[in-house]
Chain A
């Protein structure tokens, strides 16, 4: 028995760094169908609906009856496509709990902070790129119809470039917000309903709140504060300035993420 013990050479423990954790999360992220689906839907809805809406509204926007700016339409699809960012962000967290995989994850990488950071980087990177590319494609397609009516926007026009990159930024932030909610709630349906309810339902209902107080509440809700940056000219003029709104949104995401990280490090998996 003693001889047998001696024959087993202990492999030198090379400590895998953050890069290894990142690679693992990257493989995990892209090896489930929900990711491909969500990213495809993000693109189809985000770019497709923008083109569709621009095509169908171009004539009206160019007419004297128009009471909206064409600049509000070049990233129109992203308003709908943001749902997919919420889904993607939520699933990154809740799929682990729903399947019990979180135990395998933490057994492989007990440094929970590293797991969380890797998930955040993979999710943010993907949404940043997918959101920005989608916004550019939607702009190029939709703007072609606007230009045909003589009301096209150039990339140099105020807010256009900001909105295109802002779309990526906003979706990435929304993904992180959803991931944080997913980590706290740990249940796909519950986390999804919470975030979608907060961003879409509560966010829109808040505008009917009376008085300056109500207006203020509506402005600071994450979906309202964060989405201004993603449109050259927002439909709703009462919202915060683009970068001020986004800064507030980023702070809200950071706070929720910090709470989620604290819970993730403390709670049993």
Chain B
């Protein structure tokens, strides 16, 4: 379990992470979502220790990562796929990591097999493709068979097959009871992988809820309806309930707050002819963009006002 409390990181006058709090529970894949520059990597680096929080705290299994007696057994992390000396082979990279935490040497071969790098284990990492580097990073994360797995943008540079592999792996790790914390800037990918979402923008938490709830709340849908008597229908719809909103013109209406059946029933009851009745589901990407765009506006306004 990862618990962040009022976690803040400032670089000079720039605030990268602004007092965020969240909990990552075991047994789930928690997606950490935000546009580039939102503070995801900074947050993950504070979880793992190379960067220290300016204020606030973050604990893994109840203690600071740095206080863990054998960190690789407790937390496995993919922070940067390229955090490897290009002149070292994949095997020696894993060997020194295993040695540092007194892990059995057999783990090196085990994780090489797990990520499918056995064939290139003795090649220099500098020759690896982006996808191979990413697989090596995941091998590093799993080396200590840890209960907590932190993956920063694991699907970057992977082909579709690799992306699916990471998704399956993350879900499998969670099913084994591990805490899995995965960051991404790809909403669609996260919707498929994560059970729970922590969404950040401009260093603040914008949403922290189950994925299904996030989708229900933010992936807005509306009913598109076309009718030769659109104006009449619009008036009827507006009167039908307090939550119903209607906009659009020239015979095409966008109805929110009432499902397609409701619109159809209402039109039928009043003898209005419909030419189209369609449920339009906005994409997850749209929902994500809307949410994070708000955070950008939110962040920009005070700066302008200060001038």
Q: Hey, which bits of chain A sit against chain B, CB under 8 A?
A: 1-2, 4-8, 10-11, 13-17, 20-21, 23-25, 27-28, 31-34, 95, 99-111, 268-269
Contact (Cβ within 8 A) B50 A32: no
A44 to chain B, nearest CB (A): 21
Give the top 8 A-B pairs by smallest Cβ distance, nearest first: A15-B69, A24-B100, A16-B102, A110-B66, A269-B50, A8-B177, A5-B177, A31-B92
Contact (Cβ within 8 A) B99 A27: yes
Is B214 an interface residue when CB atoms closer than 8 A count as contact? no
Q: How far is the CA of A224 from the CA of B101 in the complex (A)?
A: 41
Say what secondary structure dominates the interface of chain A: helix
Residues of B within 8 A of A16 (CB): 69-70, 100-102
Chosen A-B contacts, 18 in total, with CB atoms closer than 8 Å, are A8-B147, A16-B70, A16-B100, A27-B92, A27-B99, A32-B87, A32-B88, A99-B84, A100-B83, A101-B84, A105-B100, A107-B75, A107-B79, A110-B65, A110-B71, A111-B66, A268-B50, A268-B51
Q: With CB as the reference atom, state the residue of chain A lying closest to B26.
A: A5
A5-B177, A13-B70, A31-B92 known; A107 and B87 CB under 8 Å?
Answer: no
Contact (Cβ within 8 A) A95 B177: no
Q: How far is the CA of A17 from the CA of B101 in the complex (A)?
A: 8
Q: With CB as the reference atom, state the residue of chain A lying closest to B70.
A: A13
Given contacts A27-B95, A99-B84, 6 further A-B contacts (CB under 8 A): A14-B70, A20-B100, A24-B100, A99-B83, A99-B86, A109-B71
Say what secondary structure dominates the interface of chain B: loop
A8-B176, A32-B85 known; A24 and B50 CB under 8 Å?
Answer: no
Q: How far is the CA of A15 from the CA of B178 in the complex (A)?
A: 21
- B50, B70, B147: the one contacting A15 at CB < 8 Å is B70
Interface size, chain B (Cβ < 8 Å): 48
Q: Hey, which bits of chain B sit against chain A, CB under 8 A?
A: 26-28, 45, 48-52, 65-75, 77, 79-80, 82-89, 92-93, 95-97, 99-102, 140, 144-145, 147, 175-178
Q: How far is the CA of A168 from the CA of B149 in the complex (A)?
A: 45
Residues of B within 8 A of A17 (CB): 102
Contact (Cβ within 8 A) B100 A21: yes
Contact (Cβ within 8 A) A109 B100: yes
Q: How far is the CA of A2 from the CA of B28 in the complex (A)?
A: 11
Contact (Cβ within 8 A) B27 A5: yes
Contact (Cβ within 8 A) B87 A28: no
Contact (Cβ within 8 A) B70 A33: no
Contact (Cβ within 8 A) A108 B86: no
Contact (Cβ within 8 A) B178 A8: yes
Residues of B within 8 A of A11 (CB): 73, 144-145
Q: With CB as the reference atom, state the residue of chain B lying closest to A267.
A: B52
Q: How far is the CA of A34 from the CA of B27 in the complex (A)?
A: 44
Q: How far is the CA of A105 from the CA of B147 in the complex (A)?
A: 20
Q: How far is the CA of A108 from the CA of B70 in the complex (A)?
A: 8
